[in-house]
């Protein structure tokens, strides 16, 4: 059943998606061409060997029954799957109860991504930061380590009065890609797409989608489903950063069940 659902998700069209298309400004790092002075770390070690072959990464948040019953915020857990619905990684949030209770969706945390053998392959660090269109400073940021201990990139929120905007940065904090979300992220009974664009925002090379999973699931659970559509030859460090960006969007826009409507 999971395999069939994953194939249905993959069948959703991606307007303007150009797999492997060259970037006019040569700002897109790909495994076959890393232009300019952009410096990215070497490819990830064998445990992340799945990433170079993926053009669709499915992220499924697991339902926390204890949190549903008690009405408390528990640590998030995610399954990361390929296009066939096969689990390739598992992500677990590490945070303290105080932060989850009083800082809610702004809480600082660490997400540890392990392969099926239990070996940690990617670490995502999220510090406590602001998230408001009225506060243009100290906005959201993630640090991506792959393997753990080696920083390969960042996801940084950029101030905009109406649209959610983010940049994917390399280890030197140089902008590589941009992510632009819709003005309204409520979903309104449909998918919510965050477009992955080149630096000048003229070319869309992929997207991060929050799949609408139905009225009952979205109202009464925190279980969210996401799909990351990217060119198969996109650099694995960028794919790792996009996985981190997906987690950040879940915290910022879809953490509370009613936000998924």
Per DSSP, the three-state class of 7 is helix
Residues pairing with 196 in the sheet: 179, 206
Task: Give the integer Cα–Cα distance in Å for 156 and 175.
Answer: 9
pLDDT digits 0-9 by tens, 20-45: 444 444 444 444 444 444 444 444 44
3-state class (DSSP) for residue 59:
strand
Q: How far apart are CA 49 and CA 183, in angstroms?
A: 36
254: alpha, beta or left? (left if phi > 0; alpha if psi -120 to 50): alpha
Cα distance from N-terminal residue to C-terminal residue, the chain:
24
Instruction: List CB contacts of 186: < 8 A, sequence separation 6 or more.
Output: 192, 259, 261
**Local confidence band at 90 (pLDDT 50, 70, 90 cut-offs):** very high
Rounded CA-CA distance 237/143 in Å is 12
Q: Which residues pair with 93 in a beta bridge?
A: 111
**What's residue 37's pLDDT?**
46
Each residue's pLDDT tens digit, 151-173: 999 999 998 888 899 999 999 99
pLDDT of residue 171: 95
| pLDDT for the residue 23 | 46
Most confident range (mean pLDDT) of 61-75, 110-124, 213-227 is 110-124
Dist. CA 9–CA 234, nearest whole Å: 21
Q: What are the tokens at 54?
A: 């993926």
Residues with Cβ within 8 Å of residue 71, at least 6 apart in sequence: none
* Distance (Å, whole) CA 145 – CA 151: 4
Using the Cα atoms of residue 71, residue 76, residue 82 and residue 88 in order, give the sign of their dihedral.
negative
Structural domains of the chain, with CATH: 51-255 (3.20.90)
3-class SS at 179?
strand
Q: Return the H-helix or E-strand segment holding 151.
A: strand 151-158
Name the nearest CA neighbour of 230 among 193, 191, 196, 181.
Answer: 196
CB 41 within 8 A of CB 68: no
Highest mean pLDDT of the ranges 96-100, 103-107, 110-114, 217-221: 110-114
Tokens of 4: 């069939």
Torsion sign across C-alpha atoms 14, 157, 127, 29:
positive
> In 10 A of CB 198, how many CB atoms?
20
User: What gap in Å lies between CA 180 and CA 223, rounded to an integer?
Assistant: 23
* 175: confidence class by pLDDT, cuts 50, 70, 90: very high
Rounded Cα–Cα distance for residues 128 and 118 (Å):
28
Strand partners, 60: 79, 225
């Amino acid at each position: 059943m999971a395999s069939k659902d994953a194939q249905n998700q993959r069948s959703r069209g991606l307007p303007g998606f150009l797999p492997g298309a060259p970037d006019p400004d040569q700002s897109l790092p790909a495994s076959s061409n890393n232009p300019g002075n952009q410096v990215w770390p070497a490819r990830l070690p064998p445990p992340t060997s799945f990433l170079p072959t993926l053009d669709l990464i499915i992220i499924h948040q697991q339902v926390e029954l204890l949190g549903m019953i008690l009405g408390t915020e528990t640590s998030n857990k995610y399954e990361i799957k390929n296009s066939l619905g096969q689990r390739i990684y598992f992500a677990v949030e590490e945070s303290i109860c105080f932060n989850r209770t009083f800082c809610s969706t702004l809480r600082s945390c660490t997400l540890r991504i392990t392969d099926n053998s239990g070996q940690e392959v990617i670490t995502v660090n999220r510090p406590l930061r602001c998230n408001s269109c009225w506060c243009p400073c100290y906005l959201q940021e993630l640090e991506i380590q792959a393997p753990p201990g080696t920083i390969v990139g960042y996801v940084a929120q950029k101030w905009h009065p109406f649209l959610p905007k983010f940049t994917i940065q390399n280890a030197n904090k140089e902008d590589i890609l941009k992510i632009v979300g819709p003005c309204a992220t409520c979903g309104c009974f449909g998918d919510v797409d965050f477009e992955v664009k080149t630096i000048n925002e003229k070319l869309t090379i992929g997207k991060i989608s929050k799949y609408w999973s139905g009225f009952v699931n979205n109202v009464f659970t925190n279980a969210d489903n996401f799909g990351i559509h990217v060119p198969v030859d996109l650099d694995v460090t960028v794919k790792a950063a996009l996985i981190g960006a997906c987690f950040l969007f879940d915290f910022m826009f879809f953490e509370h069940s009613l936000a998924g409507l």
